Amino acid sequence: MNHVWSTLGSLLFPRRCLICDQPAGSPFFSFPGSSIYASLLCVDCAAGLPAIAGPVCTKCGYPQTDKTGEHDCVLQELGRHLELIRSGYLYEGVMMETIHRWKYQQRHLLLPLIQKLVDRAMDRWKDDFLDVDVIVAVPLAAADWRARGFNQALVIAGRGAFYLGKPLRRRLLIKTRRTPKQARLHRSSRTTNLAGAFQVNRPRDLVGKTVLLCDDVMTTGSTLAAAGNVLLQAGAKAVKCFTLCRVL
């Protein structure tokens, strides 16, 4: 019985960093206004979060790391029908570890950290989302949802909706079949891989609306492009995108 209480206690009051298990203590990630909750991350992991903080491409959100900021802009290629993309963090280091643990190991334990990370990203990008009417997540196929137990994109979309004070539409966009992982495919196969996989359930909830489409990690942008296309064909006025992380 003792270990039940100590497990419960450590779940409710984590005193160790959720990522590296060192003593936590980053004031940035402690819950404001509460002395009950200890911090979520240690100082090193909090400092190592690869936040996208500098200037970005106004269209696709690509970090402008040099003066030219040259990149293959997704919004001039396969995602040209999307209005903009914004991401919170680079998918590397502490962030990659966080997403991996959240997906596959510690779903409930890491939830407060994920929510905090969404909030910080939204602090930065909220002005770009002022005209958003509804929020949707990139959906999982039913079989994938059952296998994993949750849709991480929906959790991110839900927190974004809470932050922005906009409605989340859970069942508006669905995925009708499983598809091979985009990252494992050649560029040419990525579009055909997703063709027909997304479907809008209740188009009347969408007509004339600006939609914020959310996902956990953007790799090539082909998933956002395909899902965004389906939303526009069903009558959305515009599609903006938010991903928690981004692969460069």
The residue ranges that bind Zn ion (CB under 5 A) are 17, 19-20, 22, 42, 45, 57, 59-60, 62, 73
- Cβ-based nearer residue to Zn ion, 17 or 168: 17
Sign of CA dihedral 54, 118, 132, 126: negative
Q: Which two tokens stand for residue 166?
A: 């906009």
- Cβ-based nearer residue to Zn ion, 82 or 157: 82
- Cβ-based nearer residue to Zn ion, 15 or 171: 15
- Cβ-based nearer residue to Zn ion, 73 or 247: 73
Q: Which two tokens stand for residue 14?
A: 């984590």
In whole angstroms, the minimum distance from the beta carbon of 20 to Zn ion comes to 3
Identify the helix (H) or strand (E) that includes residue 134. strand 134-137
Contact 20, 98 (CB under 8 A): no
Identify the three-state secondary structure at position 3.
Answer: helix
In whole angstroms, the minimum distance from the beta carbon of 78 to Zn ion comes to 12
Start-end of H helices in 149-203: 152-164, 187-194
In whole angstroms, the minimum distance from the beta carbon of 61 to Zn ion comes to 7
Distance CA 131, CA 46 (A): 31
In whole angstroms, the minimum distance from the beta carbon of 86 to Zn ion comes to 11
Comparing C-alpha atoms, which of 139, 149, 159 is closest to residue 227? 139
- Cβ-based nearer residue to Zn ion, 22 or 189: 22
Distance CA 158, CA 90 (A): 21
In whole angstroms, the minimum distance from the beta carbon of 194 to Zn ion comes to 21
